[in-house]
């Protein structure tokens, strides 16, 4: 047990760097930052793309936070900002912060804690917000999705009537919660990224909500029209906790546990084979995209389509942390290829599409924060063909990026005393 704990700590420490390694893999294409779109089906590696020196924006510091994780705008243009240790702040555009009460107990350790926040598409009438977090419990944490209401007119804002509407079972150890929330453009469905919890093989188990992107109703139930609509799964599944997370070790040490019936995972699942999706967003055409943390190398941008298997841990453009190679995605044409990938990694965090007016050249682009890359990355599209168009060194790990209703791009840095930045077009002189 002690050995396992130590090994897990080592893994956690390695992962806490979120792919901070700069180990280079051979055989890479090295596109310039101005690479032109390619029609080739094979994705392009942007791991060695160099930052563009000139920034077309000014970055104003609006406020600072302790280990912020996510940001969401209310219709009145105030923001909700989560801090991983378990705080939510209501923040005005000029940076005035008010603490939000009623936040549930979270397990703040490693990658776990208070994670994403999303505002109901019907907020004007239901005042609902959704949060995701690592919920402590017997046997380990589960990723929890909760809904609560918040009175936007209150001088002491608080989450009220909080209910956990979805919970990842079985509970267990491991980071990589995913936890990102997105709403369909029509506001009818909620998509939730459930990371692989460093367990790897369950990402391929249709009976476990691990390594999946789920499509739920706004009440947290399986959404009608999902690929597995009406199906239930086994109630006895293999619990695999780190450090049992190599394929061989998982096979040797898989333990059987019971989850409550009915197991709705097959009916909730939209796509599978994900490692740690760390950003989830719809483009203006209604297509769903995700960025995903790879292992040692192999960060991905994926176009998420129903019923597809995105390959983890069977294939990756990266390798395991113990340098055990993983087969290339080119060996498995039955598994979905990423739209592009990064090796070495950028450690993506946050994904947003820009359709504002302040930066006309950016309309239709996606933006990704880079933790290891300490960068902001712009991705341009030709249909569904994606390319890294620009990368700017921000000097700090970037934890979140959101297109604001004001046309600005809003960034959260990572860590203690992390800044909330508002990006606007660079003023002359
Ligand atoms: Ca993949």
- C-alpha closest to that of 143 among 182, 188, 183, 192: 192
How many whole angstroms separate alpha carbon 312 and alpha carbon 274? 5
pLDDT surpassing 60 at residue 4: no
Stretch (H or E) spanning 8: helix 2-16
Confidence of residue 36 (pLDDT cuts 50, 70, 90): very low
Q: When comparing pLDDT for 346 and 48, which is higher?
A: 346
Ligand 1 center to 255 CA (angstroms): 26
Q: Dihedral through CA 197, CA 203, CA 206, CA 209, nearest 10?
A: 20
Distance 199 CA to ligand 1 centre (A): 15
pLDDT at 18: 40
CA of 211 to the centre of ligand 1 (A): 11
Q: What is the pLDDT of residue 12?
A: 37
C-alpha 337 – ligand 1 centre gap (Å): 6
241/40: higher pLDDT: 241
The confidence score (pLDDT) of residue 240 equals 87
Burial class (CB in 10 A: 0-12, 13-18, 19+), 176: buried
How many angstroms is it from 230 CA to the middle of ligand 1?
27
Cα of 398 vs centre of ligand 1, distance in Å, is: 22
> Is residue 370 packed enough to be buried (19+ CB in 10 Å), middle (13-18) or exposed (0-12)?
buried
Q: Answer whether residue 310 shows pLDDT above 50.
A: yes
pLDDT digits (tens, 9 = 90+) for 187-220: 999 999 999 999 999 999 999 999 999 999 999 9
Give 62-120 pLDDT, tens digit per residue: 999 999 999 999 999 999 999 999 999 999 999 999 999 999 999 999 999 999 999 99
pLDDT for residue 101:
98
Residues 215 and 226: their CA atoms lie apart, in Å, by 7
Q: How far is the CA of 44 from the centre of ligand 1 (A)?
A: 13
197 to 95, 169, 276, 415: CA distances (angstroms): 34, 11, 8, 21
- Distance (Å) from CA 331 to ligand 1 centroid: 12
Q: How confident is the model at residue 429 (pLDDT cuts 50, 70, 90)?
A: low
Q: Say if residue 17's pLDDT is above 90.
A: no
Compute, in angstroms, the gap from residue 61 CA to the centroid of ligand 1: 35
What is the whole-number distance in angstroms between the Cα of residue 350 and the centre of ligand 1? 17
Q: Virtual CA dihedral for 417, 422, 423, 427, nearest 10 degrees?
A: -110
Distance 313 CA to ligand 1 centre (A): 8
Element of type H or E holding 352: strand 348-353
Say how far apart CA 399 and CA 351 lie, in whole Å.
10
pLDDT at 176: 96
- What is the 299 CA–ligand 1 centroid distance (Å)? 8
Tokens of 191: 């998509």
Give the whole-number percent of the chain exceeding pLDDT 70.
Answer: 89
DSSP string, 365-420: -EEEEETTTTEEEEEEEETTEEEEEEEEE-SS-EEEEEE-TTS-EEEEE-STTEEE
Mean pLDDT value across residues 18-29: 34
Ligand 1 centroid from CA 224, angstroms: 26
* Whether the Cβ atoms of residue 389 and residue 375 lie closer than 8 Å to each other: no
pLDDT for the residue numbered 254: 74
| Distance of alpha carbon 132 from alpha carbon 142, whole angstroms | 10
Give the CB-side neighbour count of residue 89, counting CA atoms within 13 A.
21
CA of 205 to the centre of ligand 1 (A): 15
Q: Tell me what pLDDT residue 82 has.
A: 98
- Model pLDDT, residue 246: 65
- What DSSP character marks residue 286? S
Distance 326 CA to ligand 1 centre (A): 11
CA–centroid distance, residue 143 to ligand 1 (Å):
21
How close is the Cα of 162 to the center of ligand 1, in Å? 34
Say what the pLDDT of residue 253 is: 76
Confidence of residue 428 (pLDDT cuts 50, 70, 90): confident
- Worst-scoring range by mean pLDDT, 23-37, 69-83, 196-210, 308-322? 23-37
Q: What is the pLDDT of residues 137-147, one digit of tens each?
A: 998 999 999 99
Centroid of ligand 1 to alpha carbon of 272 (angstroms)? 9
| Contact (CB, 8 A) for 299 and 293 | yes
311 CA from centroid of ligand 1 (Å): 5
Ligand 1 centroid to Cα of residue 423, in Å, is 31
Q: How far is the CA of 227 from the centre of ligand 1 (A)?
A: 19
CA–centroid distance, 262 to ligand 1, in Å, is: 29
329 CA distance to ligand 1 centroid (A)? 8
Structure tokens at 330: 């080119």
| Euclidean distance between CA atoms 81 and 116, whole angstroms | 9
Residue 26 is predicted with a pLDDT of: 31
Residue 162 has pLDDT above 90, yes or no: yes
Instruction: Tell me the CA–centroid distance for residue 85 and ligand 1, in Å.
Output: 30
The pLDDT of residue 206: 97
> Per residue in 277-298, pLDDT tens?
999 999 999 999 999 999 999 9
Q: Report how far ligand 1's centroid is from the alpha carbon of 206 (Å).
A: 16
Across residues 146-154, what is the average pLDDT?
97
Give tens-digit pLDDT for 330-362: 999 999 999 999 999 999 999 999 999 999 999
Distance (angstroms) between ligand 1 centre and the Cα of 176 equals 15
Q: Is the pLDDT of residue 383 over 60?
A: yes
Q: How far is the CA of 316 from the centre of ligand 1 (A)?
A: 6
Phi/psi of residue 79, nearest 5 degrees: -120, 150
Residue 20 pLDDT more than 70? no
Contact 73, 402 (CB under 8 A): yes
CB-based contact 232:203 (threshold 8 Å): no
> Using CA atoms, how far apart are residues 349 and 3, in angstroms rounded to an integer?
31
Please check whether residue 289 is in contact with residue 301, taking contact to mean a CB–CB distance below 8 angstroms: yes
- Decide if pLDDT at 3 tops 80: no
pLDDT band at residue 408 under the 50/70/90 scheme:
very high
In this prediction, residue 268 carries a pLDDT of 98
pLDDT at 311 over 90: yes
pTM: 0.90
What is the C-alpha separation between 241 and 257, in angstroms, rounded? 12
Q: Which residue has the higher pLDDT, 114 or 32?
A: 114
């Amino acid at each position: 047990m002690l050995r396992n704990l130590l090994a897990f700590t080592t893994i956690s420490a390695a992962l806490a760097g979120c792919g901070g390694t700069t180990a280079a893999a051979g055989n890479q294409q090295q596109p310039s930052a101005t690479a032109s779109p390619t029609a080739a089906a094979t994705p392009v590696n942007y791991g060695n793309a160099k930052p563009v020196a000139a920034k077309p924006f000014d970055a104003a510091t609006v406020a600072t936070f302790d280990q912020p994780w996510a940001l969401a705008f209310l219709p009145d243009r105030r923001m909700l900002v989560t801090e991983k240790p378990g705080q939510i702040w209501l923040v005005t555009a000029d940076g005035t912060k008010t603490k939000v009460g009623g936040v549930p107990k979270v397990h703040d350790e490693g990658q776990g804690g208070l994670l994403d926040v999303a505002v109901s598409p019907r907020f004007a009438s239901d005042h609902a917000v959704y949060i995701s977090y690592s919920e402590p419990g017997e046997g380990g944490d589960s990723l929890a999705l909760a809904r609560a209401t918040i009175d936007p007119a209150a001088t002491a804002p608080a989450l009220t009537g909080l209910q956990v509407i979805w919970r990842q079972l079985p509970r267990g150890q491991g980071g990589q919660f995913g936890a990102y929330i997105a709403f369909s453009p029509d506001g009818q469905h909620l998509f939730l990224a459930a990371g692989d919890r460093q367990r790897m093989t369950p990402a391929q188990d249709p009976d476990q909500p691990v390594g999946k992107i789920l499509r739920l109703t706004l009440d947290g139930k399986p959404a009608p029209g999902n690929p597995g609509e009406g199906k239930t799964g086994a109630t006895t599944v293999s619990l695999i906790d780190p450090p049992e997370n190599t394929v061989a070790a998982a096979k040797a040490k898989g333990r059987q546990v019971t989850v409550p019936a009915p197991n709705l995972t097959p009916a909730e699942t939209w796509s599978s084979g994900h490692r740690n999706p760390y950003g989830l967003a719809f483009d203006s055409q209604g297509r769903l995209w995700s960025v995903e943390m790879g292992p040692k190398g192999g960060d991905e941008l994926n176009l998420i389509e129903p019923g597809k298997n995105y390959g983890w841990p069977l294939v990756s453009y990266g390798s395991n942390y113990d340098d055990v190679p993983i087969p290339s995605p080119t060996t498995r044409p039955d598994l979905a290829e990423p739209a592009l990938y990064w090796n070495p990694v950028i450690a993506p965090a946050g994904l947003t599409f820009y359709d504002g007016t302040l930066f006309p050249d950016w309309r239709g682009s996606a933006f990704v924060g880079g933790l290891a890359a300490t960068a902001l990355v712009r991705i341009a599209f030709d249909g569904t063909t994606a390319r890294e168009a620009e990368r700017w060194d921000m000097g700090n790990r970037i934890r979140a990026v959101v297109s604001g209703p004001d046309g600005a791009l809003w960034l959260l840095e990572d860590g203690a005393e992390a800044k909330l930045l508002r990006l606007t077009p660079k003023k002359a002189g």
